[in-house]
Every structure is written in structure tokens, then in C-alpha cells.
DNA sequence: TTGAAAGCGCTAACAA
DNA sequence: TTGTTAGCGCTTTCAA
């Protein structure tokens, strides 16, 4: 059997309280007993039970991470960053892929509570705001990541989607493009909406006409992007450039262009968003608005841990600035 | 405060033992009290504490998953499959990225034990076999996934790497290629070795000479593959085809070819392994030996849960057959 | 069919 | 500086 605190205490000829104290570095313990106990602990290969400790009201040192889909590169890259920072601080993370379904979100949240996780990082879409509010009302630390619900009092880490949209647009506009297609996620996805808003705003500033038919909405996957890009490119006056709201959609756009025999960037420029591994492996590699995923992961963990320690002052919303990474999917228009 | 079993018992005017029994469907409880208790449970929004239950020796319904890097598409896709099947069966999964470092593996394993996970799925390389043996000796259910240690008595789910190598080779050979380069992972990685072995074996059978200089080894990332591919392609008599042992290396190969102005598949055919999302998004899309990731994930969870339930008979090693997916990175040689 | 009570491994007053 | 003891929320005999 695994050694317990009792075994250690017996071996050391002290009480479990004493052992507990050296374990937690609390109270005054003489150096000798301390050393002795420590020695015995590792002789017995004693590992304190997180479970038992948690039952007395202490932390479980476990965080829940809700994402739409862990196999989506954007989220798996973020997950890695979160895991790393968590590990630094002594936390494990449970992954939960929700497919953006409220029903799954609720199931997972209930589960995480039963397992008494110390905090929950939410990077998934939630339609019903109440789910979130209910969670918050229970006093469980929650941080929103890459999702925004400005009206809810919750710590949040997001990228400035609006600015990202602006960056994408001005890049294209500076290259001379005026007829530009946009492929966004479904309208209810706030981040996508913001990106589009920034993009359109900037177009206006440059005096580029916004054509409603040039704005398409769809799900977030490669295939969806391809379908919409095909629609855009087969129109009478097809755009000379397309802004895809994430890397997957951009890949779909790339495929559509290829299918139609259009060269990128000669015949079509493409700007995307995220800068996941996908943006780097396509041909041509994608010009994209990069989200600082590593930094976001780190930040979000720090925030939640601070909240746990009660160090957290007021709720805060951290908006990170995205950065345009110019690769080879965009070029000046030749007319 | 959250409702406990005591609250429910008090409300129902019964003892906690009775509540516990209806909770677990044990013992004989009259229908009336049963119903009454159930009603009260959901009125109080009672959620039994997994922690407390675990402390009495029951399961935590949590699995640990060790992978080299959750942001690597191969592993994130597998993780998703594992998570889904786990959810079906009531288990959560904690993700642990080890970077294939034994030191991290050990840290994570210790952590997982402290948290009393019910089982551990190991899909990461482990140099020191003892780590695994020690773990097994503690009686914790362990399943190896996509890793093989034939000498250790442990349930294992792998793909037939050797056959995969053969499939890749015969495809290329049938297309007329004879001068073929191979880019594998570091020699200590068994799966890669097996793929190469199958590949070489098949080359021999076709009477294609194996040139030692055409076999390169490196780490598993895109950049590594690019470097090695560059070496291969800049040799005096460069290969007309390259077999890359995973999709990332193949992407690197693709990049190398592009850099040298070689067209794929006209000037160079490429076959890879895994069939992650990467293989589908490159241009041209990669012909690749597909691993049935979804099935693997499902299987591995089932295995570990069976072991948990004591239903598990003897240790077994399940070898799944990979399948060649022909896309556009390979073509017949024109000489 | 129900309940009393011991125990899971640990923490934290409070005493000594 | 160290120990006693009462929980934490639940499961599980064993009695009633």
C-alpha cells in the first residue's frame, strides 16, 4: 500500500500533526524532527494525497479548460501554453471539448465542480449567459479566454479583434485591393464580428466600397471556408482579396482558389487570423493576424491563480494587441 | 454552501447511509423514500463530491494522458478521441505534455498519482523503462498508446508501423520510383524505426537499392524535416521521392522542395505518415499512411476502463492496420 | 428497509 | 515545539 501520513508519523515516532506541519511548512518544528521526518518521507516514498487534502478544504491544484475542440490547432496551441504555465505553478489541467454546445458546457461544468477544480478557464462559446452567471455566483474562479462577455463581471483575456481586423484590412488596402471578400464565422461569434467590424471600418476609411455580397458567414472549419470562398470567387466580379477570420477558413479559401485555378497571391490575396501552425504550412504560407497564444495562456493561468490566492483585486479585462505577420499569401494588386 | 449528503438526509428525515444507498443504487430502499430522496436531491441541486467519494477508495473518474506535446496535431487529434470516449464513460482527462523528457514524465506521473487518477494513458516516449515498470508495479492501470514496449506486460494500442512503411514503399515503387529518400525520427523512436524497416524491406523486395545516404534522422518537427530534406535534395543524385515518417516532417520536405524550385509531385513525390489535418491542408495535399486516430483513442479508453473494472483478462496488444490515403503529393515517375 | 458508526488521509484549532 | 481531536463528505459493514 501507499504510505500515508500515519505511516510517516509512526516511523518518526511523532504525531500526524507534526508531519502535517512539516509538509506544509507551518508551525514551529525543531530542525531535527523536521529533517528526520523529511528523511522518512522520502525513504517511504510518501506522496501526500491531494484528495484527502482537498477534502479538508484545500485546493485540488487542478484547473478545468473548456474549449470548443482540443483538436483545433488554435486551441491545442493555447492549451499547451496553459498547461505549461499551470505546471509551473503546480496545477494540472483537465481538458473539455464542448463543440460550442451549451449542453456539453453545462455537463462539463457540473463535472468539474464535482471534482472540485480550483478554477475554470472558458475559451468556448456559450450562448446562454446564465450558465456563466450561475457559475460565477458559486464563487468559483473563472476566466474567459478569447471570448468576451463585457456585461459579465469576470476576468477576461482577449486579443483586440477589432484592431486585428483593421490590421488585416489596411495591409490589403495598402496593397491596392479594393474588391475584398470577407469570410467570418457565424454571426453570433463575437470575436469574428469584431474582426469584420474593424475590417469594414478600415475599408471605409480607405474609401473602399463595402459590398454586402462579399461578406459571408459560416462555421469555422476548412470545408466551410472553402464553400464560401467558392461562392465569392465564382461571382461575376470576384474579389481580388479575401479576409478569412481564422486560419482554417483561410485554408479552405486557399483550396477554393486552387480548385478554380487561381494563383495566390497573384490572382488572389488572402489574409487570415490566428497564426496557428496551419498558417505556416500552407503553400503559400499565409499572411495572418497573429494572436499571442503563448502569452494568452500564461496570462490566463496567472489570473486565475491570483484569484485563487485572493490576491486578485478587481475584475479585469486584458486586451492583447494582435500583430500582422506578413507571409506570401498577399501581394500588391496589378491592374 | 454546496449541499452535502447531510443536507439531503436531514431534509428527507433519513440517515446519510440511506441517501448514500440511493445514490449508488445499492441496498434495498423502499420506493417512497427513494423517490423522496431523489426529489430532494434535485431540489437542493445536490452534486455528490467526487473527492469525498474517492477518499473512501472509490474512483476519481479521471484519467491521465501523457503525450509529447498536445499542440502537435497528431496528439491533439488523438486527445480529442480519448476525451470523447472518456466522456461517454464518465471520465475526465488530464493532459500532460512531456516533450518526451523522462524528467517531465516522472513529475507528471507522480502528480497524477497524488491526484489519484484511475488510470494513465501513455502516448509519450520513455527512455528509462523502469519508470514504466515502477508505475505498473503499483497496480495503476496503464495503457500504452502509439508506443511500444513489447517486453513490458502492459496493454498496448499501436498501429502496425512496419506495415505502414511497406504501404508507403510499395506505393512509391509501383509509381516507378527507385531512388527514394527517407526521413525518420531519431533512431531511438521505435515506431519510426519500424516504419523505416518496413519501407526498406519493401524496397528490397522490389529490387530497389537502398542507399545509406538517403536515410536521414532528426527530431519530429517541421523545421527538422526541412533541413534533412534539403540535404537529400541537394545531393548529387537526389531522390525522386521521399518518405517522411510523419506529417510534420513531410511539411518540412514540402517546404524544402519549394525552396529548391522543385515541383511536387512532378519533380518529387512525397509520402508521409499519420494523416493529421496537416496532410489535408498542404498544397499539394499529402499522400499519407493514415493512423486510425479516432479508433485508437476509443480503444485505449475502453481498455483502461475494462482494466479498472477488473473485467480485464490478460494483457493485450492491439495492432491496428494503417491505410494508405492517396492524395496529390505522389505521381508516377517520368523518365 | 433503515441507521449508527468507523474509517478514508489530511488540516487546523486548541492544549499541553 | 509537539500532540489531541474534531471534522471534511462519503462508503460500508453490521445491527436493528
Strand-pairing partners, residue B145, are B157
**Given strand B119-122, what is the order of strands in its sheet?**
A317-320, A155-159, A142-145, A119-122, A62-67, A92-97, B92-97, B62-67, B119-122, B142-145, B155-159, B317-320
Report how far residue A230's alpha carbon sits from residue A226's, in angstroms, rounded to the nearest whole number. Answer: 6
Report how far residue B277's alpha carbon sits from residue A17's, in angstroms, rounded to the nearest whole number. Answer: 54
In the block, cell 462559446 appears at A125
The nearest CA of chain B is from the CA of A248 a distance in Å of: 9
Report how far residue B330's alpha carbon sits from residue B288's, in angstroms, rounded to the nearest whole number. Answer: 10
Query: Which residue segments constitute the domains of chain B, with CATH numbers given?
Result: 5-48 (1.10.260.40), 62-159+293-320 (3.40.50.2300), 161-291 (3.40.50.2300)
What pLDDT sits at residue A192?
Answer: 96
User: Which residues, numbered 81 to 110 in chain A, qualify as contacts with chain B under a Cβ-Cβ cut-off of 8 Å?
Assistant: 83-84, 87, 92-97, 107, 110
Taking the Cβ of residue B140 and every Cβ of chain A, the question of whether any pair is shorter than 8 Å is answered with no
Mutate to test the interface with B, among A47, A76, A96 (most CBs of B within 10 A): A76
pLDDT band at A101 (very low <50, low <70, confident <90, very high): very high
- Spatial CB neighbours of A21, under 8 Å, sequence gap ≥ 6: A27, A29
Question: What burial letters (b/e) apply to B171-194, b meaning 16+ CB within 10 Å?
Answer: bbbebebbebbbbbbeeebbbbbb
**The pTM is what?**
0.95
Within window 301-330 on A, which residues have Cβ closer than 7 Å to strand D? none
Is A77 in Cβ contact with B49 (below 8 Å)?
no
pLDDT tens across B157-212, in order?
999 999 999 999 999 999 999 999 999 999 999 999 999 999 999 999 999 989 99
Task: Confirm if A70 and B76 have CB atoms less than 8 A apart.
Answer: yes
For residue A312, is pLDDT > 70?
no
Mean pLDDT over the full length of chain A: 95
What pLDDT sits at residue B27?
Answer: 82
The nearest CA of chain B is from the CA of A206 a distance in Å of: 33
What cell does A23 get?
A: 509538509
Identify the H or E element spanning A66.
strand A62-67
Question: A323-325 and A287-290 as β-strands: parallel, antiparallel, unpaired?
Answer: antiparallel
For residue B85, is pLDDT > 70?
yes
Question: In chain A, which residue's Cα lies nearest the Cα of B258?
Answer: A283
Is A97 in Cβ contact with B94 (below 8 Å)?
no
Instruction: Tell me which nucleotides of strand C come within 7 A of a protein CB.
Output: 1-5, 7-14
Is B251 in Cβ contact with A281 (below 8 Å)?
yes
The DSSP symbol for B208 reads: P
A30 touches strand D (CB under 7 A): yes
Work out the angle between the directed axes of helices B31-43 and B16-24 (0-180°, nearest 10).
Answer: 90
Within 13 Å of residue B51, how many CA atoms lie on the same side as its CB? 24
Instruction: List CB contacts (< 8 A) between A111 and chain B.
Output: 92
pLDDT band at B33 (very low <50, low <70, confident <90, very high): very high
Name the closest nucleotide to B9, judged by C1' and CA: C3
Q: Report DSSP letters for B288-312, one per residue.
A: EEE--HHHHHHHHHHHHHHHHTT--
Question: B155-159 and B215-218 as β-strands: parallel, antiparallel, unpaired?
Answer: unpaired
Task: Confirm if A289 and A275 have CB atoms less than 8 A apart.
Answer: yes
Instruction: List CB contacts (< 8 A) between A50 and chain B.
Output: 114-116
CB atoms within 10 A of CB A13: 11
Within 13 Å of residue A324, how many CA atoms lie on the same side as its CB? 19
What cell does A217 get?
A: 458567414
A29 touches strand D (CB under 7 A): yes
What pLDDT sits at residue B150?
Answer: 84
Mutate to test the interface with A, among B5, B41, B50 (most CBs of A within 10 A): B50
For residue A35, give Cα distances in angstroms to A9, A14, A19, A27: 13, 13, 11, 15
Name which residue leads in pLDDT, A2 or B300: B300
Q: How many DSSP H helices and E strands does chain A contain?
A: 13, 12
Identify the H or E element spanning B212.
none
The nearest CA of chain B is from the CA of A175 a distance in Å of: 25
What pLDDT sits at residue B28?
Answer: 86
Q: What is the mean pLDDT of residues A112-121?
A: 97
pLDDT band at A151 (very low <50, low <70, confident <90, very high): confident
Q: How far is the CA of B137 from the C1' of D3 (A)?
A: 36
Mean pLDDT over the full length of chain B: 95
Question: In chain B, which residue's Cα lies nearest the Cα of A54?
Answer: B51
What pLDDT sits at residue B244?
Answer: 98
What pLDDT sits at residue A150?
Answer: 84
What pLDDT sits at residue A228?
Answer: 98
What pLDDT sits at residue B314?
Answer: 85
- Of B314, B317, B6, B288, give the one whose Cα is nearest residue B160: B317
Task: Confirm if B64 and B279 have CB atoms less than 8 A apart.
Answer: no
Mutate to test the interface with B, among A51, A103, A140, A268 (most CBs of B within 10 A): A51
Report how far residue B280's alpha carbon sits from residue A255's, in angstroms, rounded to the nearest whole number. Answer: 10
The nearest CA of chain B is from the CA of A207 a distance in Å of: 35
Instruction: List CB contacts (< 8 A) between B255 and chain A.
Output: 281
CB atoms within 10 A of CB A324: 18
What cell does A73 get?
A: 490547432
pLDDT tens across B176-189, in order?
999 999 999 999 99
pLDDT tens across A262-306, in order?
999 999 999 999 999 999 999 899 999 999 999 999 999 999 999
What pLDDT sits at residue B94?
Answer: 98
How much of chain A exceeds pLDDT 70, in percent? 99
pLDDT tens across B220-266, in order?
999 999 999 999 999 999 999 999 999 999 999 999 999 999 999 99
pLDDT tens across A132-149, in order?
999 999 989 999 999 988
Q: How far is the CA of A17 from the C1' of C11 (A)?
A: 8
Task: Confirm if B289 and B276 have CB atoms less than 8 A apart.
Answer: no
User: Which residues, numbered 50 to 69 in chain A, qualify as contacts with chain B under a Cβ-Cβ cut-off of 8 Å?
Assistant: 50-52, 54-55, 60-62, 69
Name the closest nucleotide to A51, judged by C1' and CA: C9
User: Which residues, numbered 274 to 303 in chain A, qualify as contacts with chain B under a Cβ-Cβ cut-off of 8 Å?
Assistant: 277-278, 280-283
The DSSP symbol for A327 reads: -
For residue B101, is pLDDT > 80?
yes
pLDDT band at B312 (very low <50, low <70, confident <90, very high): low
Dihedral sign from CA coordinates of A51, A57, A60, A63? positive
Amino acid at each position: 500500500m501507499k504510505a500515508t501520513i500515519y505511516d510517516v508519523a509512526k516511523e518518526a515516532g511523532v504525531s500526524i500533526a507534526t508531519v502535517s506541519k512539516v509538509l506544509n511548512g507551518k508551525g514551529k518544528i525543531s530542525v531535527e524532527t523536521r529533517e528526520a521526518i523529511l528523511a522518512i518521507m522520502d525513504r517511504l516514498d510518501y506522496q501526500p494525497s491531494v484528495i484527502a487534502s482537498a477534502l479538508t478544504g484545500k485546493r485540488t491544484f487542478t484547473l478545468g479548460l473548456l474549449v470548443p475542440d482540443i483538436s483545433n490547432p488554435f486551441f491545442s496551441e493555447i492549451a499547451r501554453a496553459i498547461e505549461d504555465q499551470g505546471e509551473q505553478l503546480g496545477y494540472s489541467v483537465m481538458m473539455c471539448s464542448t463543440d460550442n454546445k451549451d449542453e456539453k458546457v453545462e455537463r462539463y461544468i457540473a463535472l468539474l465542480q464535482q471534482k472540485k477544480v480550483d478554477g475554470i478557464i472558458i475559451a468556448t462559446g456559450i450562448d446562454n449567459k446564465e450558465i456563466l452567471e450561475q457559475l460565477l455566483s458559486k464563487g468559483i474562479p473563472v476566466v474567459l479566454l478569447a471570448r468576451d462577455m463585457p456585461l459579465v463581471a469576470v476576468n477576461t483575456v482577449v486579443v483586440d479583434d477589432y484592431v486585428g481586423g483593421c490590421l488585416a484590412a489596411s495591409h490589403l488596402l495598402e496593397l491596392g485591393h479594393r474588391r475584398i471578400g470577407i469570410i467570418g464565422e457565424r454571426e453570433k461569434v463575437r470575436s469574428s464580428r469584431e474582426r469584420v467590424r474593424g475590417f469594414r471600418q478600415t475599408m471605409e476609411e480607405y474609401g473602399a466600397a463595402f459590398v454586402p455580397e462579399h461578406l459571408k458567414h459560416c462555421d469555422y472549419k476548412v470545408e466551410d471556408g472553402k464553400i464560401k470562398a467558392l461562392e465569392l470567387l465564382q461571382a461575376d466580379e470576384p474579389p481580388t482579396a479575401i479576409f478569412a477570420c481564422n486560419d482554417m477558413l483561410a485554408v479552405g479559401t486557399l483550396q477554393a482558389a486552387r480548385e478554380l485555378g487561381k494563383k495566390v497571391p497573384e490572382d488572389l490575396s488572402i489574409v487570415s487570423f490566428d497564426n496557428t501552425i496551419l498558417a505556416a504550412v500552407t503553400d503559400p504560407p499565409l499572411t495572418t493576424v497573429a494572436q499571442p497564444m503563448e502569452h494568452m495562456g500564461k496570462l490566463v493561468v496567472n489570473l486565475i491563480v491570483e484569484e485563487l490566492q485572493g490576491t486578485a483585486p478587481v475584475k479585469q479585462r486584458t486586451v492583447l494587441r494582435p500583430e500582422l505577420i506578413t507571409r506570401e499569401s498577399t501581394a500588391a494588386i496589378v491592374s
